Structure 1
Amino acid sequence: MDKKENRANIIRQLKEQEKSAKELEDKKLLAQFLQLESYKKAQFLATYLAFPFEFDTSLLIEQAQKDGKQIVVPKTYPKGQMIFVIYDANDLQETTFGLKEPKNEEAVPKSLIDLIHVPGLGFNELGYRIGYGGGYYDRYLSDFQGETVSTIYSFQQFTFEPSFFDIPVKEVLVSGDL
């Protein structure tokens, strides 16, 4: 299967998840995430605002705020460009892609971000990912010096050859079977 076929297959599986089983797996993934040394040390945590069928990042955002962490989320631009800005639930707009993102355009310097929670559809055993195809994260991560982690369901992990421009995440947390 090529990346396009893998993307379609995984999105279909994500959308077919049973709601209560997904909620349980999300809580398990969150518990794993909160135990990470990189999370405990992080002052600036970057995460994404997820589609309903992805890991529920609102759980992570809520807990991280309780833990006193500064949350930053992505804002995208044409040609695969992306910045992270301070998260404000009251300052969001829907993109043409159907995701929420900040209206604010004040970028948080990359050097301040300690940990990036990276989205993805599929991951191999080395942490290489298949995203949605825009290359936003690969560009951003190419010179990022901090920690990276992803949270996925077991069916999102499989063997594939990365492209030469792909940047692996340092740690992938995998839930049990759904």
Structure 2
Amino acid sequence: MKKDDIRRSVKARKTLLSDDDKFSAAEKVFGLLEQTADFLLADRILMYHSLPDELSTHEFIRKWCGRKHFYLPRVNGVNLEILPYDESRLALGSFHIEEPTGNDMSAIDDIEMIVVPAVAYDRSGNRVGRGKGYYDRLLADSRARKVGVAYDFQLVDEIDSEPHDVRVDVVITESNHIIIRKR
């Protein structure tokens, strides 16, 4: 399936979700994530600070921020910078996403797990992002465990991938925990 077709389809499905649906899905997905060995063993985790149409990360970050070191991305030109999460140091940044402020950037090599946002995933770990390539550029340089989280309907049969696309290692939805076998 073509990426633009997937984006349109998923966007339409998201408009049908109630607040209760969104809350319940986030609770299930992050409940599954926090039971994984990858999460339990990781100390330095790059999260995304969710937009209203994404699976919400806010409660999950608040729940674990005293026990894990969370980081958030900040857009800088065509790349993402990584900064420590501090709820008191967030400001509205690019694309109306709350981003960390300050200059205390971290290297991608310091991160043990990356929770990756996407419009959709397939069972091979391919992902459709929003089309700007920010995460592909970031993930290309990372050895961290890459975990995609999504609503069940964001898991599609197949995604047309391109050479620059970076796959995730794991996909977790409300009712799926898929570990991707390396090729």
TM-score with structure 1 length normalisation? 0.92
C-alpha displacement of 1:64: 1.9
CA 102–45 in structure 1, closer or farther in 2 if over 3 Å, else same: same
Deviations 1:32-76 (A, max 9, x none): 01011111011101101101121110122112214x111100011
Match of 2:9 in 1: 9
- Is the deviation greater in 44-53 or in 92-101? 92-101
* Structure 1, unaligned runs of 5 or more: none
**Alignment correspondent of 1:61:** 61
Q: For the residues of structure 1 that align with 2:45 and 2:83, how far apart are their CA atoms? A: 11
Structure 2 stretches of 5 or more lacking a match? 177-183
Aligned-pair identity in percent equals 24
Moved over 6 A (4+): none
Partner residue of 1:156? 154
Alpha-carbon distance between aligned partners in 1 of 2:79 and 2:123, rounded to the nearest angstrom: 27
Alignment of 1:42-61 (within 5 A): 42-61=42-61
What amino acid does structure 1 have at the position aligned with 2:57?
T
Could you tell me which of 89, 92, 95 is aligned with 1:94? 92
> Helix, strand or coil for the counterpart of 2:159?
coil
State the number of aligned residues.
Answer: 175
Q: Distance in 2 between matches of 1:46 and 1:129?
A: 17
Paired residues of 1:110 and 1:144 also in contact (CA < 8 A): yes
* Residue pairs, 1:15-164, within 5 angstroms: 15-66=15-66, 68-78=67-77, 80-158=78-156, 159-164=158-163
| TM-score between the two structures when normalised by the length of structure 2 | 0.89
- Deviation track 1:120-178 (CA, whole Å, cap 9, x = no partner) reads 0011111110001111111111121111101111111111221111000100001149x
CA distance in 2, matches of 1:132, 1:152: 14
